[in-house]
């Protein structure tokens, strides 16, 4: 079982903080809930399973590492979440120090052998001091994802290969969300994007006598209309959309933004 097949970008968090161990478990449950495999489960159910295991003994180990884990009835696939807390959280660790690196495993009930194999693989990888340091220095979800997978597997699993990239197109009509979108791009390590000033057809035609009354009675224009185009790895699409919808809500019900994800058939110099 490859970690690269289990861990997803949406379940990575570089700015994780909590007031207590219980608060941390609740927030970890919310991160896990972002996985498509847990879409039908309530956060409280996930939290209770993690707490059930924690009550048997703390999963806070030494050197700032915590590996909460549990098994959930009805879950079909393993889910992993990786969260980094720069300040650290009191997680009742063995060495009494605050935990900073949280790697959580949630697996199907009854899959004990695979669960233990995955736990052992992650535990072994986290014993390397350099891995912990690298994870703590990650500034984006993507860098955290790639660093964890690379270190845990021992080889680079994330490749920008043909067929793995998509074209993300955002049509932005609400200027107020531009800063938020920029922050999301930084968060996911998306460094290259093209922003085009655009004009809606109704703005062009509303000045023409024949069409003025058709679009509106005043001929008033929508001044802001920009298109953002970026190439993005297909594994990151779901996480990027989730981040955007945490700001604007359901995009289907929000008039200030439209989103397209297109297959890249061929590209050069892009």
Q: What backbone torsions phi and psi does residue 152 show, to the nearest 5 degrees?
A: -70, -35
Strand-pair partners of 230: 168
Among this protein's residues, is 115 annotated catalytic? no
264 CB burial (10 A radius; 0-12, 13-18, 19+): middle
Q: Confirm if 134 and 108 have CB atoms less than 8 A apart.
A: no
Q: Confirm if 168 and 261 have CB atoms less than 8 A apart.
A: yes
The DSSP secondary structure of 41-87, one letter per residue, reads S-HHHHHHHHHHHHTTS--B-STTEE--EEEETT--S-EEEEEEEEE
Catalytic option among 37, 69, 115, 233: 69
Catalytic positions: 69
């Amino acid at each position: 079982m490859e970690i690269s097949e289990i861990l997803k970008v949406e379940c990575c968090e570089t700015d994780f903080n909590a007031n207590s161990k219980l608060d941390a478990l609740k927030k970890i449950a919310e991160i896990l809930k972002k996985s498509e495999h847990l879409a039908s489960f309530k956060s409280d159910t996930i939290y209770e399973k993690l707490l059930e295991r924690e009550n048997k003994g703390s999963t806070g180990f030494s050197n700032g590492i915590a590996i909460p884990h549990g098994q959930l009835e009805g879950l079909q696939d393993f889910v992993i979440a990786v969260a980094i807390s720069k300040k650290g959280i009191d997680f009742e660790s063995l060495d009494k120090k605050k935990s900073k690196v949280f790697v959580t495993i949630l697996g199907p009930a009854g899959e004990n052998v695979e669960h233990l194999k995955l736990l052992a693989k992650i535990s072994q990888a986290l014993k390397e001091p350099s891995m912990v340091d690298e994870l703590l220095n990650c500034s984006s979800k993507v860098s955290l994802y790639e660093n964890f997978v690379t270190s845990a597997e021992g080889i680079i699993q994330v490749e920008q290969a043909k067929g793995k990239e998509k074209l993300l197109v955002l049509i932005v009509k609400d200027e107020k969300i531009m800063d938020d979108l920029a922050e999301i791009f930084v968060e996911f390590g998306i460094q290259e994007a093209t922003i085009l000033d655009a004009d809606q057809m109704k703005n062009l035609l509303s000045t023409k006598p024949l069409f003025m009354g058709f679009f509106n009675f005043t001929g008033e224009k929508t001044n802001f209309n920009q298109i953002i185009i970026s190439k993005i790895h297909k594994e990151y699409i779901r996480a990027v959309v989730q981040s955007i919808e945490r700001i604007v809500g359901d995009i289907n019900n929000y008039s200030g933004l439209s989103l397209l994800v297109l297959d890249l058939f061929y590209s050069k110099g892009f």
